Amino acid sequence: MKGQISIHQLGQRELLIYLPPSYDLMATRIYPVVYMHDRGDLFDPAIHNTLPEIEALFAEGTLPEMIFVGIASHARMDDYTPWTASRLSDQRTVSDFGGQGDKYLSFIVEQCKPYIDKTFRTDARAEVTGLLGKSLGGLISMYGAYRHPETFGRIGSISGSYWYEGFVEFIVSQTVERCGNQRIYMDVGSREGEGKQTVQREMVTRTQQVYAHLQAVGRGSEQLSLIMDEGASHEAGAFARRFPSALTWLYRE
């Protein structure tokens, strides 16, 4: 890794921040920022080895250098869900979904982004500001596209949990103007949902439904992408493997 990793505390949340290799060498350059859920586990070198591949993309000019901000969650089933819903398991140790997504997104928009823009040399424009996550993090990223289109212009939804109660209906109910100019990357593994006895078995189908609706309201290939990862299941290694290509599509020239 040639860039820099640091940890910042903002209120009750920890931020894992990555600065690209040229940050200290080019004192006047500004950088787009991608905000990520789960404390940035997709780029955290302690968890996944994705940064060397991403930095190689920087070096060859395939991907512009950028800042990553990973935002910690103490209760992801609350932070990453847009409204309350019943738990999928009958086990008492499993909680219902808390539906605090709007509060979490407000933290990013009203506290985290202003802090990052003040502290670092950022390109603060919405059209280059990303929101990206996987699983429930992919769900809240897509929800954020509609709730805060004035803030986020690049949306990455890796294996987004579109099985979530009422979410496909929410997407269909929204006007095109709520999410009109963003680039949206979606993907899903072809084996996701296999063996599930709950609504999660519809993982692939519901992802395709969301994609089909976005196409139907006028999103073309320049604005929208769906990658089907043949043979992949819903697991961390698959998410990390697709992460660099997700960024490359979102930030291509």
**Per-residue pLDDT tens for 94-119?**
689 999 999 999 999 999 999 999 99
- Give the tens place of pLDDT for each residue, 177-228: 656 689 999 999 999 999 998 999 999 999 999 999 999 998 889 999 999 9
pLDDT at 180: 63
The percent of residues above 70 in pLDDT, for the chain, comes to 96
DSSP 95: P
Architecture (CATH level 2) of domain 4-250: 3-Layer(aba) Sandwich (3.40)
pLDDT score recorded for residue 218: 87
Residue 19 backbone dihedrals phi, psi, to 5 degrees = -110, 135
pLDDT at 89 over 80: no
Nearest by Cα to 64 from 106, 127, 22: 22
SS3 state at 115: helix
Cα–Cα nearest to 143, from 113, 176, 112, 167: 167
d(CA 4, CA 22): 10
Of 192, 223, 232, 231, the C-alpha closest to 208 is 192
Partners of 223 in the β-ladder: none
Which distant-in-sequence residues (6+ apart) come within 8 Å of 89 by Cβ? Answer: 198
Q: What is the pLDDT of residues 114-173, one digit of tens each?
A: 999 999 999 999 999 999 999 999 999 999 999 999 999 999 999 999 999 999 999 999
| pLDDT score recorded for residue 253 | 82
Q: Is the pLDDT of residue 92 over 90?
A: no
**Confidence at residue 115, expressed as pLDDT on a 0 to 100 scale:** 98
pLDDT of 87: 85
CB 185 within 8 A of CB 155: yes
- For residues 5 and 138, what is the distance between their CA atoms, to the nearest angstrom? 23
pLDDT at residue number 229? 97
Whether the Cβ atoms of residue 77 and residue 95 lie closer than 8 Å to each other: yes
Q: Has residue 175 got a pLDDT over 60?
A: yes
| pLDDT at residue 91 in the model | 53
- CA angle (21, 63, 20) in 5-degree steps: 15
In this prediction, residue 64 has a pLDDT band, given cuts at 50, 70 and 90, of very high
For 70, 166, 221, the CA distances from 170, given in Å and listed in that order, are 27, 6, 23
Across 10-20, average pLDDT:
97
